[in-house]
Amino acid sequence: MTGRPIITDIQNTWCPGCGNFSIQHTLKNILADMEKEGRSLDDVVLVSGIGCHAKIADYLNINSFYSLHGRTIPVATGIKLANPRLTVICCCGDGDCYAEGLDHLLFAAKRNLDITVMVHNNRVYGLTTGQYTPTSPLGFRGKSTPMGTEEFPFNPLELMLASGATYVARGYTKKMDQLKGLIREGIDHHGFSFIDVLQICATFFPAADYYTPRVYDLADHDPAQFMAACTRAREWDYNGDAKIPLGVFYRARFPTFDDRMAQIEMGQDQRDAAVRGIMSSRE
Ligand code: SF4
């Protein structure tokens, strides 16, 4: 695979100004760096869900699996457990992974599965032309809420910290250098890595004028401190006028689900028999 273009020549249908371009180019640069370091991109698998973000599986020239809505993480889990040698990166949408796929996200964090989950959090269903998602702000007016939403967004960083994620970060598509560092660190982290990326939707939620004056770097924070991470995650609740911290909130080393599974000594015959046993018990 060495030397072949990382961006495919498939026609790109994202809207001009979409933050997905920033994520795509950030990932491309990370993959190019990994290749220069001697890592084979054949050992990298990208899994996407359904939504504007998911087209990234078509636009990056690496192994990929374009999955179902909300189901990136079960697919990624299967890939990682079947071949723990692989680097598995999930690109999810906020509607995709904070709504329909939320249970999968929580349990992958709980298990500390060694995958990287990057949420293209544009805070709107863009592909279906502008319905509100779990992170849309209170009062968001979209196709399904013409009078504005009557519910508060939830804070995905708090959910991830409470669920057991061992790398929790937030980036912004207009801070690409920082975003590159956050995603690369997430990929290199041994454990469940979660990166919430504030992504501009140029068409249905063009929030750059809101984000840009508010974001700041979490330079004074020690990500080894769990309670401090919780406090910093609460500084901005995805609503209101507070400053928005970007960076690594939490980083810790704990045994991963795949490490624990690898310790179970089971030959293929035993594994097949166990699967047969599970299947027959359902009859
Ligand atoms: Fe990007 Fe929004 Fe257009 Fe989708 S609808 S491609 S998220 S700008």
pLDDT in tens, the chain (283 residues): 557 899 999 999 999 999 999 999 999 999 999 999 999 999 999 999 999 999 999 999 999 999 999 999 999 999 998 899 999 999 999 999 999 999 999 999 999 999 999 999 999 999 999 999 999 999 999 999 999 999 999 999 999 999 999 999 999 999 999 999 999 999 999 999 999 999 999 999 999 999 999 999 999 999 999 999 999 999 999 999 999 999 999 999 999 998 888 888 777 677 778 767 877 865 5
CB 257 within 8 A of CB 113: yes
Nearest atom (ligand 1) to Cα of 15: 3
Distance 44 CA to ligand 1 centre (A): 26
Rounded CA separation 206/283 (Å): 52
Distance of CA 103 to the CA centre of its chain: 14
pTM of the model: 0.93
Domains with residue ranges and CATH for the chain: 20-271 (3.40.50.970)
- DSSP β-bridge partners for residue 249: none
User: What is the CB neighbour count within 10 angstroms for residue 59?
Assistant: 21
User: What is the CB neighbour count within 10 angstroms for residue 228?
Assistant: 14
Confirm or reject: Cβ of 15 under 6 Å from ligand 1: yes
Rounded CA separation 243/50 (Å): 31
CB 42 within 8 A of CB 63: yes
Confirm or reject: Cβ of 208 under 6 Å from ligand 1: no
Among protein residues, the one with the nearest Cα to ligand 1's atom 5 is 126
Confirm or reject: Cβ of 126 under 6 Å from ligand 1: yes
Among protein residues, the one with the nearest Cα to ligand 1's atom 3 is 15
Please tell me the predicted confidence (pLDDT) of residue 281: 66
The continuous run of DSSP H or E covering 215 comes out as strand 215-217
Nearest atom (ligand 1) to Cα of 53: 7
Please tell me the predicted confidence (pLDDT) of residue 276: 77
The continuous run of DSSP H or E covering 247 comes out as strand 244-251
- Mutation test residue for ligand 1: of 13, 20, 50, 132, the one with most atoms within 8 Å of CB: 20
Confirm or reject: Cβ of 122 under 6 Å from ligand 1: yes
